[in-house]
Amino acid sequence: MESQQVKGSRVLAVDSAKTWEFVIGQAQIQACPVVIHFTAVWCAPSKFMKGFFEELALKYPDILFLSVDVDELKSVAEKLDVKAMPTFLFMKEDYNQAADKIVGANAEELHKRVAHFAQMSRQGSQDATSPKFSGVL
């Protein structure tokens, strides 16, 4: 299985369809909220957002943060209707479509939506008996 996690980072870089299916499957089993950064190596705004995305991942440990290079996983980007970079998708409950989406490098908006997503996820997990993301895939 191909995935990379930089030491000290909570962002998992998913670089194969097989890994995507495994990670999303595990998130669904664990009822874990997911935020995905769709990026490309040639995209300057995506590079700009990378460090900020890493900071959010450290701040919100109950959320699974993924990074997907659209050139490596075109099928996933197409399936989720990602047409521009950076795109950030928020998934919970239905892991085949986004619950929320941000297109563009807007750090303030991303922070606001991740905070709201985390709050909604916590409220939902208090109502349900589903386990939270264990941090282990």
Domain assignment of residue 114, yes or no = yes
- The pLDDT score that the predictor gives to residue 136 is 55
Domain assignment of residue 5, yes or no = no
Domain assignment of residue 4, yes or no = no
Domain assignment of residue 134, yes or no = no
How many domains would you assign to the chain? 1
What CATH number does residue 72 fall under? 3.40.30.10
Instruction: Give the three-class secondary structure for 46.
Output: helix
How far apart (Å, rounded) are the C-alpha atoms in residues 20 and 45?
A: 23
Domain assignment of residue 133, yes or no = no
> Residue 94: which pLDDT band, with cuts at 50, 70 and 90?
confident
Domain assignment of residue 98, yes or no = yes
Domain assignment of residue 61, yes or no = yes
pLDDT digits (tens, 9 = 90+) for 105-136: 999 999 999 999 999 888 876 554 444 455 55
Residue 18 belongs to what domain range? 10-125
Angle of CA points 56, 22, 9, to nearest 5°: 25
Domain assignment of residue 111, yes or no = yes
CB count within 10 Å of CB 79 equals 12
Q: What is the mean pLDDT of residues 98-110?
A: 96
Q: What pTM did the predictor assign? A: 0.85
Angle of CA points 94, 48, 27, to nearest 5°: 20
How far apart (Å, rounded) are the C-alpha atoms in residues 19 and 122?
A: 26
